[in-house]
Chain A
Amino acid sequence: MMSSWLFEVAWRLFCILGIFLLAGELSGQSVNADGWQIAEPGYVFHFPADHGPHPGFRTEWWYFTGNLAAGDGREFGFELTFFRHGYRPPDPVHPPQSPFATGEIKFAHFTITDVNDRCFYAYEKVSRGALGDAGYNRGETLVWIEDWRVDYYQGNFRLRAAAGQCAIDLELEPQMAPVLQGAGGFSRKAGGPGRASYYYSIPILKTRGTVHLGANTWTVAGTSWFDREWATNQLEPQQAGWNWFAIQLNDGSSLMLYQMRLKDGGIDPYSSGKYVSREGRVIPLARDDFRLTPNRFWQRDRSAPRYPVGWQLSIPKLGLVLAAVTPVDDQELRLSSRYWEGCIRLSGTQAGQPVQGTGYMELTGYGGAVSGLTSP
């Protein structure tokens, strides 16, 4: 029972994620028929206030991924993501008395990829947040579920999570101001009114800390990516899933690319991306500005989803050609929802010069028909 609804929740979130990565325009702020706030153009972001929650919106997430290396050459990938999904808008006039009565569910995914041993560990926590079990903005803690937490102080983030034989304790130092995705952070998902999200990223965070795996502890350093998004939205029935890339290149530039797949096999016209040069110049990428071609597939077994884990990526506008490979094929999260999210390595050329990079790739919607996609 749990798995199916969680899957549904996660799926909706991912769908919305995909849908949000579309170009937007401006208007005022208002509320939909169910009482949820909707994203409208013209929103003015305030940091660090907007790192905190936006409970008037239906969904929201804090998305950290990164590639780390230890002094002994050992490499790791990690993901720590907190989600908020609302079922009922907050009622400030008659708030429920019961601490268990909640209009929203919080959940989080935590993964570690042990590149050298080619092992992948994935964990999940779900909470209604009763009696301090999970929540937001408690002192320095931005968001937490039990002992998984993100602290924010003095402009840095600290991530802590432990599950099974894995644990991380990482300090993340942003190397740039948040990059507003879409049009000034307003990311349109489809043609209708309010079908958009507020979306920003911090593409490069210098990361150091420790990774525990079994009895071993490594002191690590590397680069992380932070994605923040909140919205109230409805799903598009024709969307099947998406391929998402967050890439940090060794020349100091970063690239976010997003491709929404349609059920008929086509690519949604709202697919898009954003390139940020070493100097901080932001170049929006429309659907026609880039081409993604899968060249290698991986399948856990015959009945499992078949994921395109190797890609050829070209952006003629930037003179950029990249090959994306993964050091570990099996980075599939088989939790309440099933998707592939893992670290990747990139190599290629930009304007004839060799370029390399690391990043994270997310592949969803390969698990066959998904319930909830077409429901309101």
Chain B
Amino acid sequence: MRLFYQHVVRYGLQHKLLAAVNVLSVALGAAVFLAVQIVNHSATRAFEAGIDVVAGRAHLEARGAIPVQLWPRLKNAPGCTAATPVVEGMLALPDFDREYLHLLGVDPLTNRPFQNFKLQAAPDREFDAESWFGDPGAVAISRQFAGRHHLRLGDPLRVQAGEREVSLRVAFYLETGEADSHFAAMDIGWAQELLGRPDQLTAVLFRLQAPQHPENVIAALRRLLPNDVVIRSPEQRGAQVAHLLAGFQLNLTALSLVSLLVGVFLIYNTITASAVRRRAEIGMLRAVGGSRSFVRWLFLGEAALYGAAGSALGCFLGVLLARALVRTVAQTISNLYVLTSIERLYFPGWEIPLVLSLGIGSALAGAWVPAQAAAGLPPLKALNLQVLADERPRPRLAWLAVSALLFALGLLSGWLAFAYNHLAGFGAAFFTLAGFCALSPLITYASGHRLSRWLRSSHVWRLAAQNLVRSVQHHAVTVAALASAVAMVVSVSVMIFSFRVTVNRWIEGRLVADIFVTLAQNEVAGFQGTVAPEFLERLRRRPEVELIDTYRDETVTAAGQRVSLGVVVGSGRSVPEFLGGHDQEKFARFRDRDAVIISEPLARRLHLRDGDQLKIVSPEGERPFRIAGIYYDYTKDAGVILMQRENFLRYWHREGVHSVALYLRPGATPQAVINSIRQADPSARFYALRSNASLRQLVSNIFDQTFAVTYALRLVAVLVAVIGIVLNLTVLVKERERELAVIRSLGARRRQVLGMVLAEAALLGLVAVMLGLGSGCALAVVLTEVINKAFFGWTIPLQLPWEQLALIPVLLIPVSVLGGLWPAWRAANAPIIGALRE
């Protein structure tokens, strides 16, 4: 123990900066990992809490458009001990920008066995029946929401539901525990009135006599309810959303692990350096009888200490980072999946041991090889101070074989990702990256050789290049670390860019109308409200309007899965691009009776092809629809079915549309028409009227929000890599103090020594950036062709963002020079005598 203390702790204290840098690199990796875990977990919990508020204590819930007349029979369904009706809807709040309320219309007379929230009518009173039943505007809002908008009990609250603007009264506080503060509640009757849905329930909740055996009750309810109403347990609904989010969350986790991987390389470097510096010590230890395993454990212990300290710090930083990331993640989830607002961060207790073991584990993994090498050193050799330099400057060609093997594994994983399990896609990414890292010794060595020949005119540069060759084993690891980070930056940039180009092209093809109209509330809370038929008719009759397309958003069960169904009346101007071409032909078939077209992600998910039958559950039962084509689509990774309105009305009998696209006659300018509609039509204030350009801007903003987290993670990886450069050069300078002193004593000026180290840093940066660019592009192929397709089912043709890629060396090489500044300054100012005497 004393030896361990002297070896590790004292050494660490003597080299505070080195130790700190090491700890920080592990900490950053651990922090990113933890932050992503916290945010993922919080998102899932936020959603689950939302389900809990509405249906937490129900054994079953029937969800869908339920005719209100069914209620008396539903509540007396055999096998049910209690039932309660629910109406849900979204309310826009004109007085608060981009705010909404998720209104629950509940029946306090029947929901008692289900109730997962509390009301507070006054400080000393929970409920006030007088308000609840007697005031059609009495609403309960959460304290958090009230606090955010400075609302108090009794205050008026303007809301919009469709074309109805109503002033409600804050009559209660709603306490929902962990759930979203956007939940609001009012009496089911007044909620139906407010939402304009007096004849419909959105859910009925049930408690059962035998919750373990719901089959008979489900069968009985099935006979009562329209076919497209989904009957399942609230947990099943939660599981479906969790499943939906899983792919997205896994991607974030994988990205976060890259930072940890970079940390592994750094630890490798440190332990190698530490071993090299202390060869004499090792020799002595071995000479006085210290075993090999003891030496190994000393170095592994050192790494473990860094790992432990780093991950402990990482836990702390992770929470801070999670706070910073949570908004963007919530926004992304809302954009892509379900409207979510994450208001509380959950730090699951089991994450601490996980992060600690990951941090320590990665440190041990990084230290294993150098510790093994140190342990394997014969005592005599170790004691021979002359053998300070690396023994085998020329790296083995075996690295090539290793690299080839890794690439082969990468290919295999890629195949597995499609054939068996999506998760193998991450294996493909890992092996590709590892394959490039394995090339790092050879490339560093070769580059050093080549560069020293090219740069022979300058002593400083030549020496720097030669150092690259001489310390190839050190440098190779630094190069690998930096290259991994660069690869991540490059691959993610390439993927996002490709995605963006593809989406832009898709927008060009699909968003062709001049003006888009939807209820203003829909822009905040998703497609909830339908365009009033009168307003639609007035739009249709406007002289500037040539054609109108409409869109209705539904969620249906198709092939046993919940899928978005878009109901369109197409003018035919916006023809989607189909897989396999023949767009016009397929689009014409789309107009056939009982035909649908489906988006590419859905086709991949359900393994469907052109001409296949897709069974969709309508209120009248399951109906087969013929797939007229599979089109490229980037709106929902769960996939979309498109159906013509005539086909939809035949089985669903639902008229409303959620959005409208207007095509103007030649000569009419969109903005002028929008202004004129706004002036002429008093209903227009309830609608968002967007010109084509404005909608494209909106789509573009949503796109950026979606990738905001990715941008943030990218930055952290680069930060860790730059720390690596500082660390590596510090170690090298330390190691070569004696050599540098010799150079100085031979007449080299401080400036020259400074220049030499900086030149080395620059060369290191150069080699790493080049390797990173290469591996990054390869990784981008894996991301777009394997992971994206396997997880999301999107076809994204690879596009290279040349400008961004060119910026990487321009930015990173100077950064690595900056990183070398401090070690260089130390090298230049080291006392010659002391160093020579050592």
Give residues in A with beta carbon < 8 Å to B: 1-2, 4-6, 8-9, 87-88, 96-105, 126-128, 130-133, 371, 375
Contact = CB atoms under 8 A, between A and B. Distances in A.
Given A2-B108, A88-B133, A101 B127 contact: no
20 contacts: A1-B112, A1-B115, A2-B127, A4-B126, A88-B136, A96-B190, A97-B192, A97-B193, A97-B199, A98-B190, A98-B192, A100-B107, A101-B193, A103-B133, A128-B107, A128-B109, A128-B189, A131-B72, A132-B72, A133-B72
Contacts of B189: 96, 98-102, 128, 130
A105 B198 contact: no
A102 B107 contact: no
Contacts of A133: 72
B409 to A, nearest CB: 61
A10 B617 CA distance: 48
A86 to B, nearest CB: 8
Among B69, B125, B130, residue most surrounded by chain A Cβ atoms (within 10 Å) = B130
A1 B126 contact: yes
Given A2-B112, A100-B105, A371-B125, 18 more contacts: A1-B118, A5-B132, A9-B129, A88-B133, A88-B134, A96-B136, A96-B190, A97-B193, A97-B199, A98-B189, A98-B193, A99-B68, A100-B68, A100-B189, A101-B136, A101-B190, A126-B109, A131-B71
A100 B195 CA distance: 13
A170 to B, nearest CB: 25
Nearest to B68: A99
Nearest 7 CB-CB pairings of A with B: A87-B134, A101-B189, A100-B189, A97-B198, A98-B192, A98-B198, A5-B129
Interface in B200-235: none
B65 interface: no
A5 B130 CA distance: 9
Interface of B: 68-69, 71-72, 85, 105, 107-109, 112, 115, 118-119, 125-130, 132-136, 187-190, 192-193, 198-199
A103 B134 contact: yes
Nearest to A129: B109
Contacts of B198: 96-99, 101
Contacts of A375: 130
Nearest to B85: A100
Contacts of B134: 87-88, 103
Contacts of A87: 129-130, 132-134
A53 B16 CA distance: 88
Contacts of A5: 127-129, 132
Contacts of A130: 71, 189
B69 A131 contact: yes
A133 B133 CA distance: 17
A302 B71 CA distance: 44
B67 to A, nearest CB: 11
A9 B193 CA distance: 25
Contacts of A371: 125
Contacts of B135: 88
A19 to B, nearest CB: 19
A109 to B, nearest CB: 15
Nearest to B109: A126
Nearest to B120: A1
A126 B110 CA distance: 9
Contacts of A131: 68-69, 71-72
A194 to B, nearest CB: 19
A128 B125 CA distance: 22
Contacts of B118: 1
Consensus secondary structure, chain B interface: mixed
Contact of A8 (B129, B187, B199): B129
Contacts of A101: 136, 187, 189-190, 192-193, 198
Contacts of B190: 96, 98, 101
B188 A100 contact: yes
A327 to B, nearest CB: 34
Contacts of A88: 133-136
Contacts of B192: 97-98, 100-101
Contacts of B132: 5, 87
A77 B725 CA distance: 93
Contacts of B199: 97
A90 B126 CA distance: 26
A8 B135 CA distance: 17
Contacts of B71: 130-131
Contacts of B128: 5
Query: Which of A2, A98, A102 has the most C-beta atoms of chain B within 10 angstroms of its own C-beta?
Result: A98
Nearest to B197: A98
A229 B734 CA distance: 100
Contacts of A102: 133, 189
A103 B193 CA distance: 13
Nearest to A104: B133
A131 B83 CA distance: 15
Contact of A105 (B68, B125, B133, B136): B133
A202 to B, nearest CB: 31
B454 to A, nearest CB: 82
A96 B193 CA distance: 7
Contacts of B130: 87, 375
Q: Which of A6, A100, A104, A132 has the most CB of B within 10 A?
A: A100
Contacts of B136: 88, 96, 101
B602 to A, nearest CB: 37
Contacts of A4: 125-127
Contacts of B127: 1-2, 4-5
B430 to A, nearest CB: 54
Contacts of B133: 87-88, 102-105, 128
Contacts of B187: 100-101
B264 to A, nearest CB: 56
A124 B17 CA distance: 76
A170 B136 CA distance: 40
A290 B469 CA distance: 118
A88 B129 CA distance: 11
A105 B193 contact: no
Nearest to B70: A131
A133 B188 CA distance: 15
A102 B126 CA distance: 21
A60 B382 CA distance: 102
A128 B129 CA distance: 12
A14 to B, nearest CB: 16
A222 B427 CA distance: 86
A6 B128 CA distance: 10
Residue picked from B72, B109, B128, B193, most chain A C-beta under 10 Å: B109
A133 B75 CA distance: 10
A175 to B, nearest CB: 37
Interface centre among B71, B126, B189, B199 (most CB of A within 10 A): B189
A4 B69 CA distance: 30
Nearest to A99: B68
A128 B106 CA distance: 12
A131 B85 CA distance: 13
Contacts of A97: 192-193, 198-199
A154 B201 CA distance: 41
A282 to B, nearest CB: 37
Contacts of A98: 68, 188-190, 192-193, 198
A127 B110 CA distance: 8
B72 A1 contact: no
B136 to A, nearest CB: 7
A93 to B, nearest CB: 14
A133 B71 CA distance: 10
A371 B125 CA distance: 9
A1 B198 CA distance: 26
A65 to B, nearest CB: 25
Contacts of B108: 1-2
Contacts of B69: 131
A1 B174 CA distance: 13
A81 to B, nearest CB: 18
A1 B128 CA distance: 9
B103 to A, nearest CB: 14
